[in-house]
Amino acid sequence: MHRRRVEAFALPSFAESNTFMYRVLLNSMEPLTGRQQKVLDFIRKHQRKTGFPPTSREIQTQFGFRSQTAAMNHLRALERKGAIQRTPGKARALTDPAAKLGADFRSVPLLGTIPAGMPVDGEQQAGNDLGVDSRFFGLDGSSDVFALRVTGDSMVGAQIADGDTVILVKRQARDQDIVAALIDGEVSLKRYTVKKGRPYLKAENPLYPDLIPAQELVIQGVMVGLVRRRG
């Protein structure tokens, strides 16, 4: 029987390599070397820009390492010093919706689709529930969380592809958050941007224009991660 591969990406403290995930911690327990600090700074900068920490291959490319192993060694050193936290074997740690939920899993309502393109008229529609690891996505019992299936390619620069499922939390948006928004009565997934005190929605694809509200901009949820199915 053909099985689909499932990948999960959590924001803001997740990055995928081939075999593990890591979380970026606020403070390291030991001083870092100059190169280690540069790697950590790159991780944080990449995370702010794209919404995702970099993969080990992207770290290799950034610093010109001869092999991906060198990047992995730097990540291991950062882990030993308490700057990041790795979880072996959880690079693709998400179950199918029908899977039995364990202690750290919760059921998240899948409310339909959201365009990552030009905004369209639409209302949220109840669909299947999605089983997610609440600790992996940084969710607590009080989080008001839901999921939406992405259609379109306006957010490919933030590594959000057509067919992905985004996990969102209902909370106040901050500048540069990726959000599900109702703009002048139409829904869209975009990056929430504030310039000179005026908020608007920005695509992560140069083929799409900025969306500037004429009357209203209502944030329906802030993205904390996504699920990608392959195969």
What pLDDT was estimated at residue 78? 85
What pLDDT was estimated at residue 103? 53
Same domain, 109 and 84: no
pLDDT tens-digit readout, 65-91: 988 889 889 888 888 888 776 654 433
What the block records as the tokens of 5 is 């591969």
Q: What is the CA radius of gyration of the chain?
A: 18
Asked whether residue 214 is assigned to any structural domain, the reply reads yes
Spell out, as residue ranges, where the chain has pLDDT lower than 70. Answer: 1-29, 46-53, 85-105, 117-128, 229-231
Asked whether residue 99 is assigned to any structural domain, the reply reads no
Same domain, 173 and 218: yes
Asked whether residue 96 is assigned to any structural domain, the reply reads no
Q: How far apart are CA 189 and CA 202, in angstroms?
A: 9
Query: Which residues belong to the active site?
Result: 154, 190
Q: Is the pTM for the entire model greater than 0.75? A: no
CB half-sphere exposure, 15, CA atoms < 13 A: 27
What pLDDT was estimated at residue 191? 95
